[in-house]
Structure 1
Amino acid sequence: MLEILIKWLVPAILGSGATYLAALHKKSEALKSGLQCLLRAEIIRSYDKYTEKNLIPIYAKEALEKEYKAYNKLGGNDVATNLYRQMLMLPVKYGKENEYVQNCT
């Protein structure tokens, strides 16, 4: 009886576990890809918005830096990287009125 359990049950459990892990990995990769795509789209949207204005509010710059950091950690490194770098060169708006300071990074 023990021999039958070892011969059939153990491989069945291990096979099920491997199948589950493969499905979990596939879902994880899909989530990673989807999140990367959303972050890339947000970086592009920010680029279009703030380069047209030729300035970026400090709060938007801080959000952009966090978005890009996450995007880069997910493996994103294409056109969005160049757009991000260009936005870092935009004048930064710190106040509600016309308080601008050129970003020198």
Structure 2
Amino acid sequence: MWEFIVQYWAEWAFGLLGTAIIAVAIKYKALLNGVLAILHDRIYQACQHYIQQGYIDASGLKNLEYLYRSYHTLGGNGTGTELYNRAKALPIHDN
């Protein structure tokens, strides 16, 4: 029995290591997707507010740019990009 374990220990070790790496990669992907969803929600909420208001202030625009940069880097596009571009085109009014 021990001879069998000693003979195949490297295969077992690499098998366990491979399984652990796959598990970490799946968790990492889920975490990135969650962050992307939260960023999309924040961009959506902020853009809806500014679009309904009809203008944006400089600090709001800076905040949107900061959110969008991370959102885009993580692969977000589509509705988030469209809303960001609409909000960015609004007149800037500082209170």
Q: TM-score, normalised by structure 2?
A: 0.89
Unaligned runs of 5+ in 1: 97-105
Match of 2:75 in 1: 75
After the TM superposition, which parts of structure 1 deviate over 3 Å for at least 4 consecutive aligned residues?
1-4
Residue 9 (structure 1) shift: 1.1
Residue 4 (structure 1) shift: 5.5
Please give the alpha-carbon distance, in whole angstroms, between the structure 2 residues aligned to 1:29 and 1:91.
38
Residue 76 (structure 1) shift: 0.8
Match of 2:8 in 1: 8
Letter in 1 for 2:35: L
Structure with the bigger percentage of helix: 2
Residue 22 (structure 1) shift: 0.3
Corresponding pairs, count: 94
Structure with the bigger percentage of strand: 1
Letter in 1 for 2:84: Y
Q: TM-score, normalised by structure 1?
A: 0.81
Match of 2:93 in 1: 93
Structure with the bigger RCO (C-alpha within 8 Å, sep 6+) is: 2
